Amino acid sequence: MPEYQSLYRKYRSQTFADLVGQDAASRALQGAIIGGRVSHAYLFSGSRGTGKTSAARLLAKALNCSGRARDSAEPCNKCQSCVEMTAGSALDLIEIDAASNRGIDEIRDLREKVNLAPAVGPFKVYIIDEAHMLTEPAFNALLKTLEEPPAHVVFVLCTTDAQKIPLTVIGRCQQFVFRRHSEDQIVARLTHIAKTEDVSVDAEAMQLIARTAQGSMRDAVGLLDQLVPLASGPISLEGARSLLGIADPRLLDELLDHVLEGRAAEALDAAGAELRQVVRGLMEGCRDRLVAALSRHDQAGARRLSAVLDALLHLDGEVRRHAEPRFLVEATLARLAVEVGLGEQSSAPHPAVPAALPTSPQGGEVKAPHKAGR
């Protein structure tokens, strides 16, 4: 029985034409390849699933492709180097996960090996994924190599947090920022994949996946991959929502109403479904209502919604780390509802809505924040 290959790996971009939504970076890289002006070091930054590693692999493939036309940057995907890179067995493409290889010893080992000649093509390409995870000594060790690299070496640093990359390293790289994909771009790509895989997916279900992925093409394709083996027949909106554990927007609207109208008991009862999806759905709904309040010049409503949105933003970050995430979500929503209700009953012009409940590093008891004296 052949090994199953995930849809994301199966449909990973193999040409620059396949690289969705990153036109500026794609044009610049292709121009550098055709003109022979490839830098010795690049920094690809941006949110997860936006094509950074795929672009780095395309760069490596194009540089070592023996069948590529001189006036084109597109790899042939047929020569020995291209085939090996597609299969992940190329000796001239070295991928390092900085999250698990972040110390100075790993970088020293890299420095010792960069001087070795390429095995097949003219270049050895090092892709350092999640580069911001490298330690300070490791960055210092890498810096010397970035300053004076061998002519046959190209470095590509990929990161989701460019602010953590030292300026001395950034200054030695050409930087490209990879943008989040739009929902239309994600839907178009998912539609192509579904058609190729002979899978029927409703347009509304596609929109749901694209919205849930929040700009990450990898996450979107991963969600579609989850649906394919679970679905028997066409995948409907309700089927996708049920299989992926995504809360119904109508229920989220009702839950947000409970919070904003100060109905704490109802807020507790309604806090169901997958927790992160609930919190993110509430954030989206609160943001939409905040924009509407501002457009109506409803300052009091905007202040209240802004405070609730701040609390939800904090909650979104905490729910992944807390030992009892459901308790945290329910307690925060109930407390927000209580504070909103108290604010509406008081004569104070600005109802006080606190930030989400803070947690201890061990995920312990949630304590109310200290209030300033009167």
> In which element (H, E) is residue 176 found?
strand 174-178
Q: Cα-flanking dihedrals φ and ψ of residue 129, to 5°?
A: -85, 145
Mean pLDDT of the chain: 85
Angle, alpha carbons 11-18-179 (nearest 5°): 100
What is the tens place of the pLDDT at every residue in 233-266? 788 888 888 888 777 777 888 889 988 888 877 7
- Name every residue whose Cβ is closer than 8 Å to that of residue 258 and which is 6 or more positions away in sequence: 264, 266, 267, 270, 333, 337
240 shares its domain with 253: no
Q: Is residue 354 part of a domain?
A: no
Question: CATH code at 256?
Answer: 1.20.272
Quote the number of domains for the chain: 3
The mean pLDDT value for 53-71 works out to 94
Residue 158 confidence (pLDDT) above 70: yes
The mean pLDDT value for 258-278 works out to 75
The mean pLDDT value for 135-155 works out to 90
Q: Is residue 102 part of a domain?
A: yes
Residue 347: pLDDT band by 50, 70, 90 thresholds?
very low
Q: Which domain holds residue 225?
A: 183-244
Q: Is residue 363 part of a domain?
A: no
- Tell me the three state secondary structure of residue 44: strand
Closest CA to 169 of 136, 125, 121: 136
Q: Is residue 1 part of a domain?
A: no
Q: Which of 222, 244, 266 is the last residue of a domain?
A: 244
The mean pLDDT value for 24-40 works out to 94
Question: CATH code at 124?
Answer: 3.40.50.300
115 shares its domain with 209: no
C-alpha neighbours within 13 Å on the C-beta side of residue 52: 28
173 shares its domain with 188: no
Confirm whether pTM is higher than 0.85: no
* HEC-encoded secondary structure of 68-136: CCCCCCCCCCCCHHHHHHHHCCCCCEEEEECCCCCCHHHHHHHHHHCCCCCCCCCCEEEEEECHHHCCH
22 shares its domain with 149: yes
**Predicted pLDDT at 231:** 62
What is the tens place of the pLDDT at every residue in 1-15? 556 778 988 899 999
